Structure 1
Amino acid sequence: MTSVVQSLADVNQQLFEAKKTKKLSFEQIAQRMGRDEVWVAALFYGQAKPTDDEVDKLIDVLGPWVDAKAMKRHFNPHFFPERGQLTPMPPTDPTLYRLYEVVGVYGYALKSVIHEKFGDGIMSAINFSAKVDKVQKNGADTVRITYEGKWLPYDFHC
């Protein structure tokens, strides 16, 4: 079975291999790049667009385990990320499936609460950030995921 990483472009696979070789977390890479860890992970999966400066920082952090010329060729100004699904829906990976399940089970409840607080509109996934925290609750490790997106009210005129 091919993993998602194996299905990515060679430069993206190289990023994962360099991360593993250098024993760095996404958080450590992000700190050195001045970016958010979720954005850095998205970049590794080909789902974020780095600036030229960010490519240089990434090369500095992971060098010499990445091919700088290949990185610059791939992440050029004409590179546009694939931001869609990397796997079939519903996902079969247990972690991804549980996130999918959260939306399936709690989606309408979240939507209702959001609309009560903000009115008619949507949360932007373009002006968006996500954060993952490890939190202790009742003596157990728990996952806290925070989504933050700009509110875009519907303004429909005929």
Structure 2
Amino acid sequence: MASMTKQQAAVNVRDAKVRLGVTWAQIAEAVGRPVAWTTSALLGQQPMSEAEAKAAVSFLDLGKEVQQALQLQPMRGALDAQIPTDPTIYRLYEMVQVYGPTIKELIHEEFGDCIMSAVNFRLDVKREHDPDGDRVVVVLDGKFLPYRW
């Protein structure tokens, strides 16, 4: 029998999440990792350790094949299209198109010739209540990595 891919495992995870009526935060608590990382891992963008994968599939009542797929090394950043079509993901793409040069300038002004790591990285998404309508707050927290010539 052919082994399951990370993408197939992600479909199983999302189906189980809906079937069980649980949140990403509840799954992350069962796995023992931050919610953003756990969600990313379960959607196929991070490799899970055997213990993490076992905790996830146990919580979601999924099988050994899903557990094995969750432990595979991912093909990161693999979207179905060059320009995303999902409205939420497209708006993030649009933000980078509009504000990317500004963010780059401000990073270089503050840190010099460098990049922000997407490997040594933290992510948080939260809701902030506002009288004009709730706000989505996305925090991208990457390590400062200077270029070395």
Normalised by the length of structure 1, the TM-score is 0.84
Work out the CA distance in 1 between the residues paired with 2:8 and 2:34.
Answer: 23
Tell me the amino acid that sits aligned with residue 112 of structure 1: E
Q: How does 1:2-21 map to 2 (within 5 A)?
A: 9-21=7-19
Range that drifts further, 140-149 or 31-40: 31-40
Q: CA offsets, 1:10-62, max 9 Å, x none?
A: 32211111111111111111122121222122122211100011011112211
Work out the CA distance in 1 between the residues paired with 2:43 and 2:89.
Answer: 15
| Residue of structure 2 aligned with 1:95, choices 83, 88, 93 | 88
Name stretches of at least 5 consecutive residues in structure 2 with no aligned partner.
Answer: none
Normalised by the length of structure 2, the TM-score is 0.89
Name stretches of at least 5 consecutive residues in structure 1 with no aligned partner.
Answer: 1-6
Q: How does 1:118-157 map to 2 (within 5 A)?
A: 118-156=111-149
> CA distance change for structure 1 residues 155 and 8 in 2, over 3 Å: closer, same or farther?
closer
Runs of 4+ in 1 over 2 A off after TM superposition: 7-12, 71-76
| Residue of structure 2 aligned with 1:55, choices 40, 53, 61 | 53
Tell me the amino acid that sits aligned with residue 61 of structure 1: F
Work out the CA distance in 1 between the residues paired with 2:115 and 2:127.
Answer: 28
Alignment root-mean-square deviation, CA: 1.7
Q: Is the 8 A contact 2:6 2:74 kept in 1?
A: no
SS where residue 140 of structure 1 aligns?
coil
1:44 paired residue number: 42
Work out the CA distance in 2 between the residues paired with 1:72 and 1:137.
Answer: 41
Work out the CA distance in 2 between the residues paired with 1:118 and 1:144.
Answer: 24
Aligned residues: 145
Q: Is the 8 A contact 2:12 2:66 kept in 1?
A: no
Work out the CA distance in 2 between the residues paired with 1:111 and 1:74.
Answer: 36
2:104 paired residue number: 111
Quote the offset at 1:8 in angstroms: 6.3
